[in-house]
């Protein structure tokens, strides 16, 4: 679904640069705390607590505990803000800000002990329950086993904090040729969706340097921000997979978009170095050329 109006979402006046910095730093502190929790308190024999869209779309007890920690922190420190979480759904607020949280993005990797997973925390304006009607304005993605935390605030650039405390500004790659691009993507959990995604990736593969499937959309977007990927696309992702990574990639200079004529969102999310955005979009939607 698209927004009712074509006007871009404008930042409210009260959301000053200082306030955005505070929100980014709060998102970072909360993402780091939850990331620490999922590593230090991971049960020795971690199992599947529940499944969602299919038998392979899993929830662990640590997804639930991480989201509980994030919700308690947001309720304590920002009681007027709304929350949208992967496991707990939406709760209302009065401030006009919504925290969009993914307690573990890359849950399947986490279940297997694969290090490519992260906690993703974003602050958004607009209506996060409506496709294309919201915008992330600050956020953080904390990947504890990589020892990396990515963060950004609207208009203030994006940075990475490494395990040894170094803070590095982020910038997308200068890739200008799709045939030389390293492109990340991801797949949903339903067989029919995967058939579609498999067909799309099969026609793209001969046209790029190579394809990567990391297993965490939030980190894929951060890898575009840092130049470790030249681009990323995926159809079917949710607001909590996208929100923090979107503001980080945007602030690092990425071009972002969705299906032709639509916003970045569930139908399609694309984030690339500016030099390959048009060619990747054309490749994914040849009929719209």
Binding-site ranges for ligand IPD (CB under 6 A): 86, 102, 105-107, 186-188, 215-217, 234, 236-237, 241
> Taking the complex as a whole, how short is the minimal distance between the CB of residue 282 and ligand IPD, in angstroms?
23
Comparing CB distances to ligand IPD, the nearer of 15 and 185 is 185
Element (H, E) at 139: strand 134-143
> Taking the complex as a whole, how short is the minimal distance between the CB of residue 225 and ligand IPD, in angstroms?
16
> Taking the complex as a whole, how short is the minimal distance between the CB of residue 220 and ligand IPD, in angstroms?
7
Comparing CB distances to ligand IPD, the nearer of 186 and 265 is 186
DSSP assignment of 167-225, as one string? Answer: EEE--------GGG-EEEE---SSHHHHHHHHHHHHHHGGGSSEEE--S-HHHHHHHHH
User: Which residues, including other chains, have CB under 8 Å from residue 192's CB and lie 6 or more apart?
Assistant: none
In the bound state, the residue with its beta carbon closest to ligand IPD is 186
Comparing CB distances to ligand IPD, the nearer of 15 and 268 is 268
How far, in Å, CA of 152 to CA of 122, rounded?
Answer: 10
Q: Compute φ and ψ for 97, nearest 5 degrees.
A: -110, 145
The bridge status of strand 50-51 relative to strand 89-91 is unpaired
> Taking the complex as a whole, how short is the minimal distance between the CB of residue 24 and ligand IPD, in angstroms?
22
N residues, the chain: 289
> Taking the complex as a whole, how short is the minimal distance between the CB of residue 72 and ligand IPD, in angstroms?
20
Comparing CB distances to ligand IPD, the nearer of 116 and 277 is 116
Comparing CB distances to ligand IPD, the nearer of 215 and 257 is 215
How far, in Å, CA of 130 to CA of 3, rounded?
Answer: 8
């Amino acid at each position: 679904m698209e927004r009712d109006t074509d006007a871009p979402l404008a930042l409210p006046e009260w959301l000053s640069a200082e306030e955005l910095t505070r929100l980014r730093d709060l998102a970072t502190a909360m993402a780091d705390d939850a990331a620490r929790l999922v590593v230090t308190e991971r049960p020795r024999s971690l199992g599947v607590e529940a499944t969602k869209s299919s038998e392979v779309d899993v929830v662990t007890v640590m997804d639930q505990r991480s989201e509980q920690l994030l919700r308690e922190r947001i309720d304590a420190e920002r009681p007027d803000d709304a929350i949208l979480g992967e496991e707990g759904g939406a709760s209302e607020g009065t401030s006009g800000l919504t925290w969009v949280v993914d307690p573990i993005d890359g849950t399947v990797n986490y279940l297997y002990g694969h290090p490519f997973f992260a906690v993703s925390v974003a602050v958004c304006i607009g209506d996060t329950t409506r496709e294309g009607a919201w915008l992330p304005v600050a956020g953080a993605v904390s990947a504890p086993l990589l020892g990396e935390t990515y963060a950004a605030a609207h208009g203030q650039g994006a940075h990475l904090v490494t395990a040894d405390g170094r803070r590095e500004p982020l910038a997308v790659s200068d890739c200008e040729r799709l045939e030389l691009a390293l492109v990340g993507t991801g797949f949903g959990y339903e067989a029919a969706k995967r058939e579609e995604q498999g067909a799309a990736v099969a026609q793209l593969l001969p046209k790029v340097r190579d394809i990567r499937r990391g297993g965490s959309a939030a980190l894929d977007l951060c890898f575009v921000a840092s130049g470790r990927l030249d681009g990323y696309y995926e159809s079917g992702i949710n607001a909590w997979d996208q929100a923090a990574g979107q503001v980080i990639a945007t602030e690092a200079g990425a071009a972002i978009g969705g299906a032709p004529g639509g916003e970045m969102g569930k139908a399609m999310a694309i984030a690339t170095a500016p030099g390959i955005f048009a060619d990747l979009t054309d490749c994914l939607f040849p009929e719209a050329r």
